Amino acid sequence: MGSPYGAAEAFAVLGEDEYVCTLPPEVRKVASRDLMEDEATRVAGLKAMREFVARNTAITKCRLDGNFLLRFLRMKKFRIREAQELLEKYLHMRTENTHWFHGLDIKDPMIENLIDRGYFFALPERDDSGRRVFFSVAGRMDPTKHTTSDQMKSMQIAFESLLEDEENQVRGFTYIFDEKDVGLSIITLWSPADVTKAFQCCEKTIPMRHKEIHFVNLPTALFAIFEFAKTLLSEKIKNRFQVR
């Protein structure tokens, strides 16, 4: 695998560090209860992940700092082999889909414009469960200017930025998608193949805990696509969808 990081990205490819857990006591309790995480599992998990990267000749460049590797361990509740497989999928997805993952630069004019319009962003406050909330108004994008790659990149910038905060890795995320004013001009930008890949990427590749997913103002024209997209997801994630 080649490097999963674009030259324009803000995130450096970091090496091994002496990881020190800075999670506040309340969040440590959540990590212990929900993720089977404690000092011993962290030490063993990080050691196993670094050894896995070192011996995997297909991986030519990868962050080895604790913050990054713990995302995969936490996502898989410290089941080490599954975390290693997820890391492989993540690197492969980024390498194979450079149009989505490389050059994640918030100063890119198209991406900056999309974010400024309110297409996808994080709310400043956490929800009642202490989770950060992503809010999206899909109708704010301009289908004559913005591409599906612009849309995915704006989301990846948000994901990667918030995953740097370890509390978010532990607590997971809530999503609110306001689909008002989403017309066919926006819907038809996405091919069925791209929809499939995007949903599989977000659920099965990116090391994030998706806890609540709310759709509001869903137009009739979107229901068929919504139902199709749900077939691509696990039962666990389907059960976290709420439509209002």
Taking the C-alpha atoms of residue 189 and residue 193, their distance in angstroms, rounded to an integer, is: 11
For residue 129, is pLDDT > 50? Answer: yes
Strand 132-137 to strand 120-122: parallel, antiparallel, or no bridges (unpaired)?
A: antiparallel
Taking the C-alpha atoms of residue 67 and residue 31, their distance in angstroms, rounded to an integer, is: 14
Give the rounded percent of residues in the chain with a pLDDT score beyond 90.
Answer: 64
Taking the C-alpha atoms of residue 221 and residue 182, their distance in angstroms, rounded to an integer, is: 9
Helical H segments across the chain, by residue range? 25-35, 39-55, 66-75, 80-96, 98-101, 109-116, 148-163, 166-171, 184-187, 192-204, 220-230, 235-238
On the 0-12 / 13-18 / 19+ scale of CB atoms within 10 A, 117 is middle
How much is the pLDDT for 191? Answer: 81
How much is the pLDDT for 182? Answer: 84
141-164 pLDDT, tens digit each: 999 999 999 999 999 999 999 999
* Residue that wins the pLDDT comparison between 188 and 178: 178
For residue 217, is pLDDT > 60? Answer: yes
Taking the C-alpha atoms of residue 80 and residue 100, their distance in angstroms, rounded to an integer, is: 27
- The pTM for the full model equals 0.89
For residue 221, is pLDDT > 80? Answer: no
17-32 pLDDT, tens digit each: 999 999 999 999 999 9
Q: Mean pLDDT lowest for which of 47-56, 122-131, 171-180, 215-224? A: 215-224
Tell me, what DSSP letter sits at residue 139? G
Q: Residue 13 — very low, low, confident or very high, per pLDDT cuts 50/70/90?
A: low
Taking the C-alpha atoms of residue 155 and residue 199, their distance in angstroms, rounded to an integer, is: 12
Closest CA to 31 of 71, 66, 77: 77
How much is the pLDDT for 1? Answer: 47
46-83 pLDDT, tens digit each: 999 999 999 999 999 999 999 999 999 999 999 999 99
Residue 171: C-alpha distances to residues 33, 98, 139, 141, 228 (Å):
11, 29, 29, 29, 28
Give the chain's domains with CATH numbers. Answer: 25-96 (1.10.8), 102-243 (3.40.525.10)
Taking the C-alpha atoms of residue 51 and residue 70, their distance in angstroms, rounded to an integer, is: 14
